[in-house]
Amino acid sequence: MSITLRNNKWQAYVTNKGKRYRKSFTSHTEAQLWESQLRMAINHNLPIPEETKNKDCINKWTLETTLRAVENLYWKGSKSELNLMHTCNAIMRFYGHAKHISTFTTEDIHNYVNDLKANGRSNGTVNRHLAALRKILKHAVSINALEELPEMPKLKEASHRLKWFTKLDEDSIINTMRERGLHELANMAIMSIDTGMRASELMKFDSTLQPIGKDGYGIYIPDRKNGDSLLVPATQRVQQIVTKGGFKHNVKYYRRAWESIRRELKLDGCVWHTFRHTCCSRLVQGGMDIRKVQQWMGHRNISTTMLYAHLAPNSLMTGIEILEA
């Protein structure tokens, strides 16, 4: 396999079992993508993209085989891989693993949207599912396994303020979790509130307390969403949780447990990430420098951190104190 520049065109060559495939592209990136698609198809015994105009080859491309191709080409090793695969598993449960990719229609898309809405999914969640499905179907079009991309709607998402939990909310949620025997879930919620860790970070943090300053301790969070790692100060209750070690169950278990609590307490519009929102809002309202909050939370842009400064209307009252001084 090789890519060379000839006559201002990037030419990719792939040889498999004595057969040679060659194609020209205007950019090196396109040539690399084509080469990767062929390599993936050859390694996984899938139809060769250049041969998928053949009806028998087209029928070999099911939803599952196309998804696996997209996973290997675009998502594998990415920070969002786990969430994307959770979304795609839901897509496959709805359509069935063996659905031929060539049979997808606009009606199929609308049926899935209606099912998600009937199950109480927000417009934002529906849009994320459609984005994953769009990626799969666009790949199918690129390898000639699907004639054209079906019409994909984009639902309007509410532009409401970020939600966060009050101390009373927190006590109610934590107590309900413990009453239901979900002690690890309660501990995860506490850690998210007190450290701002994302759900993915809670599953991989270093459960060894590290000294900070003279008398403090912190926990090390590797490979955060922004690419950095950070030693986050640990509150007393976080220290008590960390000494018990990491969390034992898988993501699916905790996701289902949280969903049961969310429905029981009728926490409409709240997601697990709301615990992280709560941490950030409390830091800002408590007077921590906004740049330090940005570093703590791992926000790439300060504009993201500034959104949290407006979560508590009472915080605006400090302006009256300043103006009337």
pLDDT in tens, 258-300: 999 999 998 887 889 899 999 988 888 888 888 888 888 888 8
Let me know if residue 31 belongs to a domain.
Answer: no
Do both 124 and 252 map to the same domain?
Answer: no
Mean pLDDT, range 215-225, rounded to an integer = 80
Closest CA to 304 of 272, 281, 270, 275: 281
Q: Indicate whether 126 belongs to any domain.
A: yes
Which residue, of 109, 142, 175, is where some domain finishes?
142
Asked if residue 176 and residue 75 are part of one domain, the reply reads: no
* Cβ atoms of 232 and 219 closer than 8 Å: yes
Residues 179, 299, single domain; the answer is yes
Q: Is the same domain home to 243 and 134?
A: no
Indicate the pTM of the whole model. Answer: 0.56
**Would you say residue 321 lies in a domain?**
no
User: Has residue 98 been placed in a domain?
Assistant: yes
Question: What's the domain count of the chain?
Answer: 2
Q: Is 156 contained in some domain?
A: no
Give 50's pLDDT tier (boundaries 50, 70, 90).
low
Tell me the three state secondary structure of residue 156. Answer: coil
Residues 90 and 177 in one domain: no
Contacts for 50 with CB less than 8 Å, ≥ 6 apart: 21, 23, 38
- Structure confidence at residue 315 (pLDDT): 52
Cα–Cα dist 60/54, whole Å: 10
Q: pLDDT for 237-260, tens place per residue?
A: 999 998 887 788 888 889 899 999
Confidence of residue 54 (pLDDT cuts 50, 70, 90): very low
Q: Across residues 307-314, what is the average pLDDT?
A: 60
Residue 2, in any domain of the structure: no
Q: Write the CB contacts of 23 (distance below 8 Å, at least 6 apart in sequence).
A: 11, 12, 31, 34, 50
The CATH number linked to 218 is 1.10.443.10
Domain endpoint, select from 142, 176, 199: 142
For residue 196, being part of any structural domain is answered with yes
Domain assignment present for 242: yes
Residues 171 and 111 reside in one and the same domain: no
Q: Are residues 199 and 274 in the same domain?
A: yes
**What is the pLDDT, as a whole number, of residue 320?**
42
Between CA 315 and CA 325, with CA 320 as vertex, the angle to 5 degrees is 130
Look up the domain containing 238 and give its range.
Answer: 167-312
Asked if 176 and 130 sit in the same domain, the reply is: no
284 and 271 in contact (C-beta within 8 Å)? no
Task: Check whether residue 289 and residue 212 sit in a common domain.
Answer: yes
Do residue 183 and residue 106 come from a single domain?
no
20: phi then psi, degrees, rounded to nearest 5? -110, 135
Q: How many whole angstroms separate alpha carbon 43 and alpha carbon 177?
A: 46
Which ranges constitute the DSSP H helices of the chain?
Answer: 28-43, 55-60, 63-70, 81-95, 106-118, 123-142, 167-179, 183-195, 199-202, 236-242, 251-264, 273-285, 290-297, 302-306, 318-323
Instruction: For residues 176 and 308, state if they share a domain.
Output: yes
In terms of domains, do 195 and 284 share one? yes
pLDDT at 323: 47
Domain of 128, CATH number, reads 1.10.150
